Amino acid sequence: MNLHKPTFNVNKLRKTVLEMAYAGSTVHIGCAFSIIELLAVLYRNHLNYPNNDPESKMRDYLVLSKGHGVMAQYACMRELGWLKDNSFTEYFSNGSELKGLSDSLISGLEVTSGTLGHGFSVGVGMSLGAKLAGTNQKTYALVGDGEINEGAIWEGALFASHHELKNFMVIIDENGFQAMGTTKEVLNLNSIKNKFESFGFETITIDGHDEECIDQAINKLWSSSSNMPKAVVAKTIKGKGVSFMENNNEWHYTRLNEHTYNSALAEIEKGEQ
């Protein structure tokens, strides 16, 4: 695995997200917080970057299909030393290289995403390429539960199942919200686990904030003898880690001011004690 192994402390990662959001007066904090533990476990224990090189030809692929949660991935990339500190303090300033959506021009981000549903199929294509090349590379696609309203997700799922892409794993951030309301109100998905199983995926449902459970689920799926693609349904809390953001969809679009920034930072720092 990685030669350079940070701890990926989730409180530290959340503080980085707050730092970016406050510096850039930008949004999408809640949807970044819901995937912190998922990304921490992936980068800490599972993603393989030979020589800590995000452009290694033999790297595993992490496709953040829900590209609006990219601040959480930036925070992990900071721990790996792939991004400079001034990228965070100067986020969204004139000339800033980092954008509010995933951008493949940034080394370490595999896709340009934000048009929801497309990243999933890009990841499926990466998995097929690795299978045809006979490599051991794995592909992880992280999607939102609102995002899977998109038909492109299910077309990609059919393709992955048909080609028996056992090197492909989708992780669904099931936080129960999307931009304009709850997923049940906008388009009720009912059981996401049952849906992916019906499309031929070997599927596990977990607590998406329990790092040990996340790790165990990923290991269990990869150790399976099945040739089918994998799915982890991660039940999460949008805005996890800050009480006034949790399950409050206003924080999909709300910007921090000095008071809310300091209040959020104090809660996270209290959790470190």
Residue 2, domain member (yes or no): no
pLDDT band, residue 3 (cuts 50/70/90) = very low
Query: For residue 193, with 0-12 CB atoms within 10 Å meaning exposed, 13-18 middle and 19 or more buried, which class applies?
Result: middle
pLDDT at 4 exceeding the cut of 70: no
What b/e sequence results for 243-260 when a residue is b if at least 16 CB atoms lie within 10 Å of its CB, and e otherwise?
Answer: eebbeebebbebebeeeb
Answer whether residue 37 is part of any domain.
Answer: yes
In this predicted structure, the answer to whether residue 1 has a pLDDT above a threshold of 50 is: no
Residue type, 245: M
Q: Is 103 part of a structural domain of the chain?
A: yes
Question: What type of residue is 271?
Answer: G
pLDDT average, residue stretch 102-125 = 96
Residue 219 lies in a domain: yes
Q: Examine residue 67 and state whether it is found in any structural domain, yes or no.
A: yes
Task: Tell me, yes or no, if the pTM score tops 0.95.
Answer: yes
Residue range 21-59, pLDDT digits in tens = 999 999 999 999 999 999 999 999 999 999 999 999 999
Q: Is the pLDDT of residue 2 over 80?
A: no
CATH number at residue 90: 3.40.50.970
In a domain, 5, yes or no: no
For residue 1, tell me if it sits in a domain: no
* Structural domain total, the chain: 1
Tell me how far apart the alpha carbons of residues 68 and 239 are, in angstroms, rounded to a whole number.
Answer: 14
Evaluate if residue 85 carries a pLDDT over 70: yes
Q: 19: domain range?
A: 10-272
Confidence of residue 114 (pLDDT cuts 50, 70, 90): confident
